[in-house]
Structure formats: C-alpha cells, structure tokens
Chain A
Amino acid sequence: MSVSPPDLSDPTAGGWERLDRRVMVVNGLRSSSSAILLVVVLVAFRSGGGAMLPVVLTLGLAGFAVSFGTEAVRYQRTSYRVTPERVELRSGLLQVRHVSVPRDRIRRVELTAGPLHRLFGLSIVSVGTGEHGRADGDAVDLDAITTPLAESLRAQLLELAPRVTGFETPAAISLPAPQGPAVHTPPPLPTTLSVSAPGDDGTELARLSWRWAPYHLLTFWTLLLPLMAIGALWQMLTTIGIDPIDEQVVEGTAGLLDTQPLWALALMVLGGGAVVGVVGSLGAFTVSWFGYRLTREPGERLQLQRGLFTTRTTTFDERRLRGVKFQQSLAGRIVGAGRLRVIAHGVTGADQPNRASGDALLPPVPAATAHEVATKVLKLDEAPTSVELIRHPAGARERRLIRAAIAAVALVGGAMAAVAADVGPWVLAPALVLAALVFVLAIDSYRSLGHRVHGPHLIARSGSPTRTISALQRSGIIGWTISQTFFQRRRGLCTLTATTAAGDGAYSIIDLSLDAAAQLACQAVPGLLDHIVTADGDHGRADTARGPFVRLTG
C-alpha cells in the first residue's frame, strides 16, 4: 500500500490511496477544541488556583492526546481507491467498513471545507448515488484530501458517471414517452481521463444579491435566535454562579423594573428581541449564503457554491435534474417571496442526516427572481412555477369546508363546555377566532390546489399556509398511483401521485376527479395507459384482451 501523497495528475490510476496527512491535525484540533477551550478558560480565570492547575493541565493534555491518537489511527486505517468502474473506501479499526459505489451511479459530488480544513487547504469529498433505500452510511465520504485533488476528482467522477450509462441528454426533455421510439444516441465514451482546469467557471445562472437579505428575516431564524439568546444568557448566568430564579435576584430585578413604566419595559423587551432577531437572521444569511453562485459547468453539470466559514460546493449531474419546487410560507406569500428547490437524483431534502446540504437552489428571494432562475436552470422560455393552472372541482372545496366545520364545532363546543364548567366566558373569544381561522385556511387550501401539464413538466400545487408548486419532468415519472379514500369516492375525487427516483420520490395532485386523473396521467406520459384508459367502452372483457396471461380471464 502506498503511503506517498496521491499523484495529483491522475487520481483514477486505481491504487489504494491515503487521505491527506494534515487531516490528522485538522480533525485532532477540532475534536479536542472543547478540551483546549476548557484549559484556557480555567487557566485564565483561576490563575491563582495553585493545586488545581496541574490536574487541569493533565486532563487537558489527556483529552488532547486521545483526540489526536484517534485521528492518527483513523488516518492509518482509512484508504480509498478510484478505479474506472468504482469508488471504494475502506475504514475502521475493529469493525472494518468497505464501501464500494459504482461510478455510473454517482449523481452528486459535494466538496465541503470548514474553517480549519480551509486553513490547511483540505476539502471533504462526499459522493451521493441518490438510491432510495440505501443505508445513509453507504455514501462515500472522504475526509479529507487536498482541495485541488478534490476538485479534479469531482470533475472526473461526474464526467464519467453519466456517459457510461448514456441514458438521457437534455434533448430527451422533448418526450413523448420515456420508453417511446425516440432513441437518444449516447454521447461517446471519453477516451482519456483528463483533468479539467479548476479555473473553468462555466455560465453563471445566479449570484448573491444583498437585496435578498431582508427576505431571510421571514425565516424561522428571526424568531428562533432571540429565544436562543435568552437561553444562552440564562446558561451564562448559571455558569458564573447566579441563579436567575434565586429570590434575591428576582427581587432585585423586580425593584429595578418597578421604577419603569410597563409600556417602556414591553418596548425594551420587544425591541431587544427584534434587534437580536434581525441581526442574528442577517448573520445567519451571511454565514450560509456568502459567496453564493449557481453555475452551469461544461459537461452538463450544475454547480452551487456558498458559505462564509464553511464553504460548500455541490455539483450534480444536470441530466439527472428532474424539475424544481417553489415553496412560499405564509409570510413569503404576503411579501411575494419564496424558496426555490431542486428535484434531482442524489439530492434529498434538507432534513437528511448526512453531510449533503439539501436541495435549496436559492435563499428566500422575490418570486420573480425564483421564476427567472427556475427558467434558466431548466433551460425553458417560461418558468413552470409561474404558469396558470387548472383549478380543482368544487367537491374539493366542499371537503375542506366540511372538515373546517367539524373542527369549528369541536372548538366552539369545547369552549362552551369550558364556560359551563366556570372557566370564564372569555374562553369563547379565542375559540371563535380560531374557528374563523380554520375556515380561512380551508378556503386558502382549496385555492392552493392546481395542476397541469406544461411543456416537459407535470405541475402540481397545494398546501396552506405554506404553498408548494412542484414541476416534475415528465420523462422522470416512473409510475402512477391513484388513491381514493372513502370520503373522496363519495365526491368522485381522488389523489394522483407521480412516482420518481428523484427528490422526494413521489409528487401528488390532491382532490381531482377520477377521469381528470386518468386523462392527466395519459397526457403526462403518453402511451403508458393506452390499454388502461380507453374510449371504446372496453371494461376489461376477455374478448378485447391483449398481452400475457389473457387466458386467465374467464
């Protein structure tokens, strides 16, 4: 096994390689950072402590040694290999893990570098296959190799990946059917594994605009950060030995507060919270989205980079792009802003527990910007996220109103029971307000519903108060499910779900008529339902039967 640093010019030579040696220092420092901090703090604050000092230093050093020792062993036991067919990773001391990913399954490569990694010129390479049902630990994570090597590795992994299968080029968007007669000639296999120049910038689709920053105030950070600040303050007071609910402290504070009028206090608390929320949210925006750029790289790859301290560069195979999703929260709908997300193979929602940075294509931005970027990303003339949609039948509205009525009756009934039990008549007021709100949500939920086939995409819209529009590429649809609950059946409604290998795996159109569902499915994927949806009154009788297993029909 070679211990020499990998040959930068040819990472695909096929031998087992080590990670970069400096990663021992980076991760050692990272995992012992708390021990270091503790020693520094204790030494600084208790400098006169005498007897404590050796104990603290010994413990700190022990923590330090354990961290670095672990990292040294991890480094010794980890090696990776890139062959023309596979990417392999071996790691572990007692339980040896061997992960092997076929290169033609690679859909996404992400380079991540935290501040320490950047200081040492290193990057973590994580490779995603986008296969559902695959254990999360099965993705390959190289932590870490030098950034230039990581960049050339990324270029080669994605360059080779789609061409081996030669499945679909963006020309395939012009349908009609995924299995139709339109045969797309696969691009030729690359004859050489050349290193693409890292300076090659591609076409820019979007870049950070500081005018987007105010829209970040609409995210949950603005509410969360003041609460976190209060929590941190509390923690700090406890640490330095002040119990915030101690009687003396409470009385002292109350005495201080008594001298101020109530409105001034409320103003102070709200103002303080608002300042923390605004500053914090803008800070979070800067940390997450500083240096944001979305580019189209040569070789049909989309690349998204962002981050102030920890930089992330996600590159995915554009031929595996299956559409976009536009999401508007209630606040976003009021000011006309929303988030654009990608539907692609190997890219899952943000709540996945792996290193991948989720499916966000943009921070919260004005709707017009989101539509413009969607148009560019999908190479269309018109944003599929802003087109007019077909409305759903009145039965869909009735169902929502009935559900709202049941909820309202329960709310008001509960409140009246509370009044009867001597809680006080004031309970009725919030109950009535909530009941009214439920009806508003029901109407809004109905108004959210919409669908249509638009060019190469199937578009579905639903949700209240957060409204989501999904535009799913029709050629990415790999199955249909129509489901009808008991209550839907009474109104002739159903839910049509398109299944796909990308993104969430299933995209639903809720509460449309059964006939409309069948026709929409026919229109979205022509040919597939030809023998299932028929105009000639064929009700599955034997005399018109075709295909295998016909003899079974008696």
Chain B
Amino acid sequence: MNEPTALSDHPGPLRPPRHPVDQRCVLWWRLRAVVAVTPPVIPTLAVVVFGGDWLGGFARWLAVAFAALLVGYVVVMPQIRFRIHRWEITDEAVYTKSGWLTQQWRIAPLSRIQTVDSTRGPLRQLLGLSSVTVTTASAAGAVDISALDQALAAEVVQYLTHTTQATPEDGT
C-alpha cells in the first residue's frame, strides 16, 4: 500500500477568473431583490405602523429589525455579488466564480461541453443583459455566466459553440 502523499507539483492558489460581469448586473440583482422582498415587506410595515402594543411593543421592534434586514439585503447583496461574480474562458475550460454568502468556483472543460445557451428573463431583457449557460453531461455540471452585455454574450456563445464543435468526444 503506497502512502498518500502531500501534493506539491501545483503549489499555487486558485486565482479568480479574469473578467467581471456587466456593471448593469448590480441593477438587475437589485431589481430582482426588490421583487423578492416586496411580499414580506408589506405585512412587516403594517406591523410597524399598527402593531404598537402587540407583545408589549416588542413586535414593533422585531418588525423594524426585520425590515432593516430586508432593506439591507436589497442594498448590500448586489454590491457583494458584483465583487465576487467573475468569468473567464481559458484554453481548456470555462471558469466562473459566483455567489455572495456561499461562493462557488465552477470549472467546465471545453472538451466536455454539451450545450451552450444564452438566457434572458424580462429584467435582463430590459437592461440589455444576457446570461450564458454551459451544460455538460452531468446533472450537476451546469456553469452559468450571469450576466453579460447581449452582444458579448452572443459572441461568447458563438465562440464556445465553435470551439466545442471541433472536439470529437461525446462529452461523457
């Protein structure tokens, strides 16, 4: 039985991908956050306004704290996300970093890419943005670049489609 050895041939750390996502993503994420936050905000504000003596005044403070948390989410989350979200296409792979509280680095080898799609919902459409979704044969392998300028996204899709067509393997 050979002993497990410490790895030394690649001593370097993981560097972040080179390119930031489009600046307009901050607005997109913020709008999305507003949409998500609206349903809980309305009853919370109702408690702040009308719930003065509930639970001996405690309910109002709770509601104020919760509302502050929601507003903080809308203000802060897009900023943090923008600092973290990055993407790159190396000679070998599509490489992305995403997330905010939980961060993810995703690497999909060009030779294993099965489909490349650009996706845009109504908000991204409005802002002229487009996401690029790269899937492999694995159920867990999709890599998402969100989001880029629509022209750039189209260019990336075309480049990846062209490159992966040249690879003869079936991606598994």
Contacts and interface: CB of A to CB of B under 8 A. Distances in A.
- A and B assemble together: yes
Interface of A: 131-133, 165, 167, 178-179, 320, 345, 382, 387-390, 452, 454, 476, 478-486, 489, 497, 499-502, 505-506, 514-523, 525, 527-540, 542, 545-550, 552-553
A205 B65 CA distance: 65
B7 to A, nearest CB: 4
Nearest to A387: B1
Nearest to A516: B7
A390 to B, nearest CB: 5
B135 to A, nearest CB: 9
Contacts of A546: 90-91
Given A382-B1, A479-B106, A480-B107, A132 B137 contact: yes
Given A179-B111, A179-B167, A478-B109, A533 B14 contact: yes
Given A501-B137, A522-B10, A479 B143 contact: yes
Nearest to A389: B4
B138 A501 contact: yes
**Helix, strand, loop or mixed for chain B's interface?**
loop
B91 A547 contact: yes
B14 A518 contact: yes
Interface residues on B, range: 35 or more
Interface string B144-172: 00000000100110010000000101111
B156 A523 contact: no
Contacts of B169: 167, 178-179
A476 B10 CA distance: 22
Contact of B4 (A345, A452, A519, A531): A452
A506 B140 contact: yes
A523 B7 contact: yes
Interface in B110-138: 110-112, 136-138
Contacts of A537: 12
Contacts of B155: 549
B15 A538 contact: yes
Given A165-B170, A178-B111, A548-B159, A482 B14 contact: yes
Given A535-B11, A552-B18, 4 more contacts: A387-B4, A389-B4, A482-B14, A506-B139
A535 B10 CA distance: 7
B108 A479 contact: yes
Given A478-B137, A489-B103, A532-B15, A522 B9 contact: yes
A481 B138 CA distance: 12
B140 A499 contact: yes
A482 B141 contact: no
Contacts of A534: 12, 15
Contact of A549 (B10, B104, B156): B156
Q: Which of B1, B102, B138, B139 has the most CB of A within 10 A?
A: B138
Contacts, number: 183
Given A179-B169, A479-B112, A497-B140, A531 B1 contact: no
B29 interface: no
Contacts of A505: 138-141
Contact of B101 (A387, A482, A486, A545): A486
B141 A478 contact: yes
A478 B11 contact: no
A485 B109 CA distance: 24
Contacts of B112: 178, 478-479
B106 A528 contact: no
B106 A480 contact: yes
A69 B4 CA distance: 65
B51 interface: no
28 contacts: A167-B170, A178-B111, A382-B1, A479-B136, A479-B138, A485-B101, A499-B136, A500-B138, A501-B171, A502-B172, A506-B139, A519-B9, A522-B9, A522-B10, A528-B93, A528-B109, A529-B10, A529-B14, A532-B14, A532-B15, A532-B107, A533-B14, A539-B15, A540-B88, A546-B90, A547-B88, A549-B155, A552-B19
A547 B4 contact: no
Nearest to A459: B4
A483 B10 contact: no
B141 to A, nearest CB: 4
Interface string B83-94: 000101111110
B73 interface: no
A132 B152 CA distance: 30
Contact of B13 (A500, A515, A545, A548): A515
Given A179-B167, A481-B104, A482-B105, A531 B19 contact: no
B53 interface: no
A548 B116 CA distance: 16
A532 B3 contact: no
B19 A530 contact: no
B82 interface: no
B133 to A, nearest CB: 13
Given A479-B143, A480-B107, A505-B138, A535 B172 contact: no
Contacts of A167: 169-170, 172
A454 B102 CA distance: 30
B7 A528 contact: no
Contact of A539 (B16, B91, B106): B16
A489 B99 CA distance: 13
B104 to A, nearest CB: 5
